[in-house]
Amino acid sequence: MIFVTGGCGFIGSNFIIRWMESGLGAVCNLDKLTYAGNAQNLSRFENNKDYTFVKTDINETERISNLFKDLKPKAVIHFAAESHVDRSISGPKAFIETNIVGTFSLLEAAKNYWSKLNEADKNNFRFIHVSTDEVYGSLTEQEDAFSENSNYQPNSPYSASKASSDHLVRSYFHTYGLPTIITNCSNNYGPLQFPEKLIPLIIERALEEKELPIYGDGKNIRDWLHVEDHCDALIAILNKAKPGSKYNIGGINEVQNIEVVKNICELLDTLQPRANKKSYFELKTFVNDRPGHDRRYAIDPKNLQNDIGWKPKYTFTEGLKMTVNWYLQNRHWVHSVKTGEYKNWIQRNYGDRS
């Protein structure tokens, strides 16, 4: 049995699917089911004896502690987080409560459970904290990619909250001996991603014949990591990484935002052409940049490659085509998650950015 927090979210769902379909053991999925969590992502496992779903908040300390005691997990994979930078700018409080206080509550429950295990189970237990490259701040185009030793310089309430949680996790290893591992990944993309993030947002806006909003000059650079590659990396880390270690997980695919939008439009032009035969790229529109928008992220994953033997399978070209095809073939899923709350958010975030 492993615990997965936030398992109904984008990366968490993909991780559980990967884990279950690989026959790696039982999973208890702990999820609060906020706007970005969708239990239907994992409906295929509803009758599987190795899958358990518990709707709970990681801040419900007593309930989480009882779950540890009853189910006796060998590991925790901690995805649960508020994760959208734009939302953290307009409403930072939820990010503090979930990403910092929630991680603290989970660490406390894990520590209390772990401390009572026998020596062999203690040595085998792992707490993997899934974090982001955004904790390192912003790079210029000339600077080297982030390494595990890069300074923390978070520039948004989201990245600051994740940086805080990273420090908490590290402290529980050094102070209490809890066998924690921290991972910092680059921008994920792939199936089941909530359409507030760039790639699914552009796919959906294009198919709706709506303007494609691009912040600033569109030249912000991100390192794109297919979610399947990320999940494979986490499984390898769970099996091979030493307690107290820290690994950067990157796709080695640096692309400007404007190029991401262009590539999506070119794929849609081929896979589902517009009725007027014009390119979807004509729908692009530049909007006022968001405050504190980091210019470039880039991950150097060589330590992960050398120590664990992992490297990404997908180039961005391959992964993006797979992703666009998935959204075209799963319109029912998209329609089910695009609630009134989603529409209100899109209007609130982009509507006034002329």
Phi and psi of 184, rounded to 5°?
Answer: -125, 110
> What dihedral do alpha carbons 249, 254, 259, 263 form, nearest 10°?
-50
Give me the residue label for tokens 């409906």.
43
Please say if 134 is a catalytic residue.
Answer: yes
Using CA atoms, how far apart are residues 31 and 45, in angstroms rounded to an integer?
Answer: 15
Question: Using an 8 Å Cβ cutoff, are 353 and 287 in contact?
Answer: yes
Phi and psi of 243, rounded to 5°?
Answer: -55, 140
Of the candidates 51, 113, 136, 158, the residue annotated as catalytic is: 158
Of the candidates 31, 134, 166, 294, the residue annotated as catalytic is: 134
Give me the residue label for tokens 């930072």.
92
Phi and psi of 282, rounded to 5°?
Answer: -65, -15
Helix or strand (DSSP H, E) at 159: helix 157-176
Token pair listed for 58: 């990681």
Please say if 254 is a catalytic residue.
Answer: no
Question: Using an 8 Å Cβ cutoff, are 140 and 78 in contact?
Answer: no
Helix or strand (DSSP H, E) at 19: helix 10-21
Please say if 314 is a catalytic residue.
Answer: no
Of the candidates 82, 133, 166, 254, the residue annotated as catalytic is: 133
- Bridge partners (DSSP) of residue 131 are 184
Using CA atoms, how far apart are residues 267 and 281, in angstroms rounded to an integer?
Answer: 10
Catalytic residues: 133-134, 158
